[in-house]
């Protein structure tokens, strides 16, 4: 945790900005708890991503960032094998295309989150081998 906001002392946590400290603590806890992602959790994160895209309110930011991070991880691991992103596509653009595809094809959520993301990216960016 940044020392500007929260400082761990022998007596507990000293908070200069309680809301930022709480947000950091909750996002760190959530990130550890969501190491493996199923389609239900992906759907929940996707809803937060879309709410953040629509309203740009900080309350949606942590889970929206987790969603974009998950899509980014899939891209980093599988780009060039199951889909081929062209240069210049940003993480937020890829996440937006995945969200759109899942909304249009909700049956993809009956599979593992990885399969839902790769099928969405494959539909939008097929490889031309």
CB 39 within 8 A of CB 109: yes
Residue 33 φ/ψ, nearest 5 degrees: -75, -25
Is residue 116 classed exposed, middle or buried when 0-12, 13-18 and 19+ CB atoms within 10 A define those classes?
buried
Domains of the chain listed by start with CATH number:
1-33 (no CATH), 35-124 (1.10.890)
Token pair of 101, please?
């595809």
pLDDT at position 47: 92
Q: What is the pLDDT of residues 97-115, one digit of tens each?
A: 999 999 898 888 887 899 9
pLDDT digits (tens, 9 = 90+) for 57-85: 888 899 999 999 999 999 999 999 999 99
Mean pLDDT over each residue of the chain, to the nearest integer: 79
């Amino acid at each position: 945790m940044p020392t500007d906001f929260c400082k761990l002392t022998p007596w507990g946590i000293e908070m200069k900005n309680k809301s930022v400290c709480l947000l950091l603590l909750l996002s760190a806890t959530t990130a550890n708890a969501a190491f493996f992602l199923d389609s239900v959790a992906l759907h929940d994160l996707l809803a937060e991503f879309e709410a953040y895209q629509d309203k740009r309110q900080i309350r949606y930011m942590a889970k929206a960032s987790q969603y974009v991070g998950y899509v980014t991880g899939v891209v980093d691991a599988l780009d060039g094998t199951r889909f081929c992103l062209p240069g210049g596509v940003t993480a937020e653009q890829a996440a937006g295309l995945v969200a759109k595809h899942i909304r249009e094809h909700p049956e993809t959520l009956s599979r593992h989150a990885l399969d839902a993301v790769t099928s969405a990216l494959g539909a939008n960016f097929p490889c031309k081998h």
